[in-house]
Structure 1
């Protein structure tokens, strides 16, 4: 018989034995939850999922019948090279261009040690809040050079047993950028990264720039994740150029458009045409509510826009869409804790989802980004996947998203890496204190 223990604890979970989580309420891919056991092998992968699982003598059984179990959260759009620089990068205009200029100035002096320290702190905070996979865009240009992507490539290796980290070689084409420099350095940057990215809206020659990015991705056999039309000007669009490149370079199912804020400012017919092309070419989308709420619409004289894309319509229309943190405590977004449940709530509220779509908001931080990142069979609560799990005291998925947990445990690769709980004073303790 396996060893029977009542509670999941650090000493049990982090031993070198197999682990049986018994009787938890398991969230499946569709968002529904069902009672099941989860057997985790000694190497950190799920061996099996189902009712009344049997385990051998070298297995610790723990009772998790009071817990809701979710797959780990997936934050597929961050900027770990920028995280935590807010005290050093003032952005008095509060605009996107002001933030770009502030970071570009800082990037000229930010060394690898500084980037590593700040990124490690944010990754630890994200992990403690349930995030077990991150995709980070990392600036590569004449200001940042290769400092960020080299430092984060080292962290990707150092953290591989805790967080699945993907790096986007974010080839910046800000005004004045030297295209010869980009052309000479893009392949080396892409070799260090896992994905190719950029921001066409600020390029001096957007069509040439977009083609350069897709061509480099095709040469390296890597996917594309663009910051596409992160603005609210419907007269300035780059969707068709990017979608044409998806077709020409055979990047269907391997391309993501992040932000796409301008879709909310377009007439419906134009939006629906672009949405259908995205569906036909299997192009995903990522909304970034924190950045777009903060940066967009500051010049509006009446009713400032929310700045997000058409989240609800994209999701209901069939586009695979995720939500993510974007920047954390820097000139682009001065706030942020690495809590994806908080971002899911912001998305539901600012994106005009409905109260009966709380479970859909959960998918925006789990299965949808996992698909867009290509995590495949390594992700989810299924046999063969990594045991990256979030256990909470919530009754169901809706309540997890709506209000969060009072007690949370995070497993990464089958090991308990974080536990947090709200501790309340008992009434009798309070009465004693009053008498004193």
Structure 2
């Protein structure tokens, strides 16, 4: 009966009201889980977290005994300008280049209204599944122009009380890329964005391209997030070139390498050398299992590899590694619902994590991406943080990742923005 009462009370919290959640299992900053109370202020920030708090001054007090509270999920790598275009962008080859070509053709006709409608729908679906922060890479090039980044900047600013959105100015090279155009337009794109990105592996001049990206980031005082070595060609890797620029431009702790699929194709000694350098320079990584499973290794006649980077080894080495959706229902990934728990499961299974590392998979969709995105003290279940969290009927985070909840409540900035439940209907007797 307590569960029913808690459910009704959570669903009926008044917006802008201070409240306390008591008796639930709470994921704390150090990764431990314990029974604690949470007090949320009327300003949408957490006032206190701890056992047996004084909740007398709260506008409402709800006993959530038997329920779990975790920080909101963080999707550190999406492409909201591409989301939902699958039916308009056929990719018969199923390859990465086929997807690039398909979207480049569509991008020439995709206007702001189209981008806004698709991106908003995906953001709301992600929010309904517990994602409270997203970093999205937005194409900026001669095909897409500035339509995508301007539209997403409008969505980001308008939705800031519902969800935290960060934009990466994804300066996308194509065959025949005009470097003069890139250099002339990157500052304007970066001004609208929160980070600088690109994909060096398909550039005609990777060293020059990397210098343009890092120079723009330093000039704007913004971090770098690269699509790096999204392939399995062991003889072609740009990790060393990118790491050299991290050091030369002073971008330690402010750089993320996404994909890095090639690490799984390198000899272990080479991987270990690069991993040690990533650790020394405090460079994080994001794995994208959906895209890498779908796009990579289609040309292998036997035993095609999984296409992911060395997820388990990087995690165990101490590298900050997150997992993310990448693309949702477009030529790069034809599936996707915005459910980060689904992505966590894919990562555990395809990334060779073990059954006793469910907590690691949970970390890869919470604290690890929050760190890579620089969310700082705004994130987590601690005093002063934004009250962005998910309340579920799971007993712990292992249960949450392994099978998901039957009942979930999503809060952003202290307001309930989504609730969901799976109910079994009683069988009807046949007369």
TM-score by length of 1: 0.96
Whole-angstrom distance in 1 between the partners of 2:51 and 2:29:
17
Local SS of the residue matching 1:256: strand
Local SS of the residue matching 1:13: coil
Answering whether residue 304 of structure 2 is matched by residue 309 of structure 1, we say no
**Which residue does 2:293 correspond to in 1?**
293
Where in structure 1 are there 5+ consecutive unaligned residues?
A: none
Whole-angstrom distance in 1 between the partners of 2:292 and 2:273:
23
Whole-angstrom distance in 2 between the partners of 1:29 and 1:365:
14
Given the superposition, is the C-alpha separation of residues 50 and 58 from structure 1 closer, same or farther in structure 2, using an over 3 Å criterion? closer
Alignment of 1:359-398 (within 5 A): 359-398=359-398
**Which residue does 1:139 correspond to in 2?**
139
Contact 2:261 2:309 in 1 (8 A): yes
1:161: Cα distance to partner? 0.4
**Which residue does 2:36 correspond to in 1?**
36
**Which residue does 1:257 correspond to in 2?**
257
**Which residue does 1:123 correspond to in 2?**
123
Whole-angstrom distance in 1 between the partners of 2:57 and 2:194:
41
Contact 1:12 1:60 in 2 (8 A): no
Contact 1:115 1:148 in 2 (8 A): yes
Whole-angstrom distance in 1 between the partners of 2:153 and 2:415:
23
Whole-angstrom distance in 1 between the partners of 2:212 and 2:225:
13
1:57: Cα distance to partner? 4.0
Given the superposition, is the C-alpha separation of residues 351 and 30 from structure 1 closer, same or farther in structure 2, using an over 3 Å criterion? farther
Given the superposition, is the C-alpha separation of residues 98 and 178 from structure 1 closer, same or farther in structure 2, using an over 3 Å criterion? same
1:52: Cα distance to partner? 1.3
Whole-angstrom distance in 1 between the partners of 2:418 and 2:197:
32
Whole-angstrom distance in 2 between the partners of 1:323 and 1:7:
30
Whole-angstrom distance in 2 between the partners of 1:207 and 1:343:
33
1:63: Cα distance to partner? 1.2
**Which residue does 1:229 correspond to in 2?**
229
User: CA offsets per residue over residues 133-154 of structure 1, 9 Å max, x none?
Assistant: 0000000000000000000000
Where in structure 2 are there 5+ consecutive unaligned residues?
A: none
Contact 1:31 1:360 in 2 (8 A): no
Local SS of the residue matching 2:114: helix
User: CA offsets per residue over residues 13-72 of structure 1, 9 Å max, x none?
Assistant: 233320101111001234331000000000100000011111344520011112111000
**Which residue does 2:430 correspond to in 1?**
435
User: CA offsets per residue over residues 169-191 of structure 1, 9 Å max, x none?
Assistant: 00001211111110000000000
Whole-angstrom distance in 2 between the partners of 1:268 and 1:49:
43
Alignment of 1:7-26 (within 5 A): 7=7, 9=9, 12-26=12-26
**Which residue does 1:220 correspond to in 2?**
220
**Which residue does 2:62 correspond to in 1?**
62
**Which residue does 1:103 correspond to in 2?**
103
User: CA offsets per residue over residues 346-395 of structure 1, 9 Å max, x none?
Assistant: 00000000000001100000000000000000000000000101111111
Contact 1:325 1:343 in 2 (8 A): yes
Alignment of 1:179-190 (within 5 A): 179-190=179-190
**Which residue does 2:49 correspond to in 1?**
49
**Which residue does 1:334 correspond to in 2?**
334
Alignment of 1:163-178 (within 5 A): 163-178=163-178
Given the superposition, is the C-alpha separation of residues 215 and 8 from structure 1 closer, same or farther in structure 2, using an over 3 Å criterion? farther
Contact 2:233 2:262 in 1 (8 A): yes
**Which residue does 1:242 correspond to in 2?**
242
Contact 2:140 2:149 in 1 (8 A): yes
RMSD after superposition: 1.1
